[in-house]
Amino acid sequence: MEKGDLMREFTYQWNPEEYNHRGKEPILKITKSSFGTFQWCPRKYFHSYVERLPQDQTEAMLKGTIIHNSRESFFKSFDIKKAESYSHNELIAYCLSLYPLDEYVDMYETMAIFDANRFMEAKIDTVENYLPVVNEVKLDAEIQVGEYTVHLQGIIDRMFLDGNSHIPMEFKTGLWKDYKTTSMRKEMAFYQLLYENTPEKILQEKGLNQDIPITHWGWYYPASNYIHIEPIKKGSMTAVMKGIAQIIASYEESLFPTKYFARTCTSCSYYGICDAVNSESWL
């Protein structure tokens, strides 16, 4: 497919046997979330995306949605000209005023201090790069994996410009733990794959320039006051391609195995119907 052409329909209810390279049947859809769920547990993926069984809405999910929306609004409302006239303390107050008054005010305070400090640094350097180039942008791409074309989709929280580099930053409302590094790298590599394969026309419409490469990526966990930026890791990109191939293989074999972990499975929405729970919990 030429970049800029219309994309094919896509679905999670994909049947590889009907796949035809030039056909009209929907191709496999893979989002960052569905990819992550498959990595977590292929059976959970099957229940959630293929069977479309509802999932319980947890308090953490609700909190995540509210704070993500607040963060998006913050960047939409932030006025650089106004901010330039403020002292550090005034800047903190200004940043805080851009967040809503709800039960997550402690988190907003941490973010306001972080954002004010970042602005003070940007004022010395390049204030025009303070705001992200894109703020919650959805991208769509098609890639070739073996004999199949698959559709990738994801929402990049924010992408910043630094010199001649784009830096996607993921925002998380949970607590940071070092063991999350590997999965965070895979999330960021998924974004990079998506960005590099999104048709140029779509990127331009969203305000992105594909000539500017992603050289670094990062994540911000305000609940732990933790931010991390690092050069991209080629190994993470390989891991994402391997993960995509595993999803395809599961569809081909109609096999979505369980990944049972006593500690984490109790929070799974499908705990009650999972055959691994009965067999594994008695071992």
Q: State the nearest-atom distance from the C-beta of 253 to ligand SF4, in Å.
A: 17
Length of the chain (residues):
283
The enclosing H or E element of 235 equals helix 234-253
Q: Give yes or no for residue 265 binding ligand SF4 (CB under 6 A).
A: yes
260 binds ligand SF4 (CB under 6 A): yes
Select 34 or 198, whichever has its Cβ closest to ligand SF4.
34
When binding is defined by CB under 6 A, the residue of 7, 44, 130, 196 that contacts ligand SF4 is 44
Based on the shown chain and the rule CB under 6 A, indicate whether residue 50 belongs to the binding site for ligand SF4.
Answer: no
Give the binding range for ligand SF4 (CB under 6 A) out of 20-28, 107-115, 160-168, 267-275: 267-275
- Give the shortest CB-270-to-ligand SF4 separation in angstroms: 5
Q: Which two tokens stand for residue 241?
A: 């391609």
Distance CA 139, CA 195 (A): 7
Residue 262 interacts with ligand SF4 (CB under 6 A)? Answer: no
* Residue 247 sits in the site that holds ligand SF4 (CB under 6 A): no
Which member of 14, 108, 190, 270 binds ligand SF4 (CB under 6 A)?
A: 270
CB 116 within 8 A of CB 88: yes
The residue (of 24 and 52) whose beta carbon lies closer to ligand SF4 is 52
User: Taking Cα atoms as reference points, which of 258, 161, 178 lies closest to residue 212?
Assistant: 161
Contact stretch for ligand SF4 (CB under 6 A) within 150-158, 207-215, 238-246, 264-272: 264-272
**Distance from the Cα of residue 191 to its chain's centroid:** 7
Helix (H) or strand (E) holding 262: helix 262-265
Residue 43 sits in the site that holds ligand SF4 (CB under 6 A): yes
CA separation for the pair 236, 184 (Å, rounded)? 9
The number of helices, as runs of H, and strands, as runs of E, in the chain is 11, 7
- 264 vs 41, 113, 269, 280, CA distance in Å? 11, 34, 11, 13
Q: Is 29 in the site for ligand SF4 (CB under 6 A)?
A: no
Nearer to ligand SF4, 163 or 272 (CB): 272
With contacts defined by CB under 6 A, name the span among 95-103, 221-229, 247-255, 260-268 that binds ligand SF4: 260-268
Exposure pattern of 210-248 as b/e (b: 16+ CB <10 Å)?
bebebebbbbbbbbeeeeeeeebbeebbebbeebbeebb
Q: Which residues bind ligand SF4 (CB under 6 A)?
A: 41, 43-44, 258-260, 265, 268, 270-271, 274, 276-277
